[in-house]
A and B are shown apart, each in its own frame.
Chain A
């Protein structure tokens, strides 16, 4: 009987050892491998990055780029897991603002000043987009692309009902009311992941609360008693709630994905949609570039904040402080963030690159060029709320916004909780020194 089972056992053992043995990957001699981790696994984006890598490896045969990508929402967890594993990629994506400063604070990111300042790279980049990657006077990240949020509208609906792009909050509400009367969903909205509402609230905040107050609150540098207590914050949530309570959003926004909301805008079911410049190309492809227009969201009329701000942030890359090959990593970034590759980025994806002059009539749709123009004319950017404040406050603030939509929380009660959380975290941070 042993003989009967013997062979099977052997096969098994061989299989298992093959499996285990097959796992280790061999690295070629004398070659440097740079690991590159980002959040754009979409095929169109991967096409671009594969192209860049191919070109790069041709130009630098001794450097090999190993790319890994996970989508936006999972990236938020994955990058933390990877950091915790100690097995950090040499180059990794990070949102601007607090999200990136956290890496800088923990000493996990490499300062990049010496590689950028005083070199010709400085002329190739839109340097204003590096600002949100600066922490404690040093530069920790390089922008790949610039982005901002605009309200887009369906031209056909607007024409049909005699509407024009609103410039004040009241005009905006009037537009919504007209659309609703005519059985068109005024604003397509998908809030399954609450970052979608945080973009609204972030915009309201920026325009309803004075800039210095916001800065002090977001960075937890204000007096403990005053954190997040400016009445503008409550007003911001109240305005957001108003859009919901008046029925200006589609039904079931909390269970709808942003992309499905976009699909419903494209299908002509909704009059407006709050979306990012990077989505323009995609919408234009599906609905026609002339079918929609955009305007800055007039969310803050009458508020104490800067009305000329746009909500948005650059997306960019950081270099790990633990990298064994900083020079090679920088070489790759330099190669990618250059006029030629930047222009190709715009051409292939229709998304504004952070490389200076990459967006022009030749590379991009007129509406995208106009969007970049609008960014340049804005007095500044209000960063994404969900990546610009401490994650532990985000975890109170964002679910609060979902609760606001379902009616189980009021603007006042949410801000009270946010205040409480902020005070606690400020104290903890102070304790840690």
Chain B
């Protein structure tokens, strides 16, 4: 992680959802030099952020475009939608892309069955179960994890 410090300097990133994924991304991207705003419905969720997290916390419902405006989404280089509700992530991602014109938008989606529709609408989705399953299958068939050279 040391060599990645500074690689996100000057980037403005909005993360919606401060669960395990959202907080991990917020901690890491802020460490890499990005200005991060993290949005969550509940203030207690911010306990997952590291004490070194240098970004902003915003308590509010990202489904309300007023809250997204408060997060200055129109200036963001990247939005990550990482709440536990697929449909909230898809709504937030589309609003970011089409209304706030955020150049890159990523959404975590648990149910991959509607992926084709969201690809069509320009949303990049990441399904943790598909990703994990592929890694498992690769480990099973090749006997080692990708990235392990020997």
Q: Do A and B bind each other?
A: no
Q: CB within 8 Å of B: which residues of A?
A: none
Q: CB within 8 Å of A: which residues of B?
A: none
